[in-house]
Chains A and B, each alone.
Chain A
Amino acid sequence: MKAFIALVRAGVVMLRRNRTLLITSLGLALISIFVFGWLFGGGGTPKLQLGVVNDDTSPLGAQVVTQLQHSDSLQVFTGTQTEEVQSLRDGNRNAVLVLPATFGADLRQGHAALQVYYDESNPIMEANARAAVQSIVTGLNQQMTGQTSPVTLHEQAVSVRNLRQIDWLTPGMLGMLLMWANLSVGVLLVEWRQQGILRRLAATPIRPGVLMASQMLARLVLSIAQGAILIAVAIVAFHVQIVGSWSALLLAVTLGALTMMALGFVAGSFTKKPETAQAVTFLVSFPMMFLGGSYFPTDNAPAFLAPVVKAMPLTYLNDALRQIINNGAGLVAVQTDLLILAAWMVAALLLSGRAFRWS
Chain B
Amino acid sequence: MAAVIPGRFTTQTEEPYVTQTEEPYVDAIVSVRALTKRYGKHTAVDGISFDIRRGEIFGMLGPNGAGKTTTLEILEGIRTQDSGEVRVVGLDVRRNRRAVQRRIGVQLQATTLFTELTAHETLALFGSFYPHALSPETLLREVALEEKAKAFPQNLSGGQRQRLALALALVNDPELLFLDEPTTGLDPQSRRMLWDTVLRLRERGKTLLLTTHFMDEAQQLCDRIAVLDGGHIIAQDTPAGLIGLLGATATIECALAGSPSIEALRGLPHVTDARQGTERILLYTENVETTLVALLQWAAAHGTAVDHLQVHAPTLEDVFLKLTGHGLRD
The interface of chain A, by Cβ under 8 A from chain B, is: 2-3, 5-7, 10, 13-14, 17-18, 195-197, 199-200, 202-207, 358-359
Contact = CB atoms under 8 A, between A and B. Distances in A.
Contacts, number: 60
A203 B130 CA distance: 12
B290 interface: no
Contacts of B101: 203-205
B124 interface: yes
Contacts of A206: 129
B192 to A, nearest CB: 25
Ranked nearest first, the 8 interchain pairs of A and B with the lowest CB-CB distance are: A6-B128, A14-B116, A195-B112, A205-B98, A203-B106, A17-B116, A204-B129, A205-B101
8 contacts: A6-B125, A10-B117, A10-B121, A196-B110, A196-B112, A199-B108, A203-B77, A203-B106
Nearest to B104: A203
B124 A6 contact: yes
B78 interface: yes
Contacts of B110: 196
B130 A205 contact: yes
Contacts of A202: 77-78
Interface of B: 76-78, 98-99, 101-102, 106, 108, 110-114, 116-117, 121, 124-126, 128-130, 168
Contacts of B128: 2-3, 5-7
Contacts of B117: 10, 13-14
Given A6-B129, A199-B78, A200-B112, 17 more contacts: A2-B128, A3-B128, A5-B128, A10-B125, A13-B116, A14-B114, A17-B116, A197-B113, A200-B106, A200-B111, A202-B77, A203-B76, A203-B77, A203-B78, A203-B106, A205-B102, A205-B129
A202 B124 CA distance: 17
A76 B61 CA distance: 93
A3 B112 contact: no
Of listed A199, A202, A205, residue having the most chain B CB within 10 A: A205
Nearest to A16: B116
A203 B112 contact: no
Contacts of B121: 10, 13
B169 to A, nearest CB: 9
B257 to A, nearest CB: 48
Contacts of A14: 114, 116-117
Nearest to B169: A203
Nearest to B111: A200
Interface centre among A6, A195, A200 (most CB of B within 10 A): A200
Contacts of A205: 98-99, 101-102, 129-130
B118 to A, nearest CB: 9
A14 B116 CA distance: 5
A203 B103 CA distance: 11
B175 to A, nearest CB: 15
A196 B113 CA distance: 8
B67 to A, nearest CB: 17
A11 to B, nearest CB: 10
B125 A7 contact: yes
Contacts of B99: 205
A200 B116 contact: no
A197 B117 CA distance: 13
Determine which residue in B111, B125, B168 has the highest number of CB atoms from chain A within 10 A of its CB, and name it. B125
A30 to B, nearest CB: 23
A17 B114 CA distance: 11
B125 A200 contact: no
A186 to B, nearest CB: 17
Contacts of A10: 114, 117, 121, 125
A283 to B, nearest CB: 26
Given A13-B117, A204-B126, A196 B98 contact: no
Nearest to A15: B116
A199 B78 CA distance: 7
Nearest to B125: A10
Given A10-B121, A203-B101, A359 B78 contact: yes
A3 B129 contact: yes
Nearest to A206: B129
A205 B172 CA distance: 11
B102 A197 contact: no
Contacts of B112: 195-197, 200
Contacts of A7: 125, 128
A14 B98 CA distance: 26
A4 B106 CA distance: 21
A206 B108 CA distance: 17
Nearest to B110: A196
A21 to B, nearest CB: 10
Contacts of B76: 203
A221 to B, nearest CB: 15
B108 A203 contact: yes
A206 B113 CA distance: 16
A199 B69 CA distance: 13
Of A2, A203, A207, chain B has the most CB atoms within 10 Å of the CB of A203
Most chain-B CB neighbours within 10 Å: which of A5, A13, A199, A358? A199
B180 to A, nearest CB: 11
A59 to B, nearest CB: 79
Contacts of A17: 116
A205 B78 CA distance: 11
Contacts of A359: 78
B114 to A, nearest CB: 6
Nearest to A1: B128
Contacts of B111: 196, 200
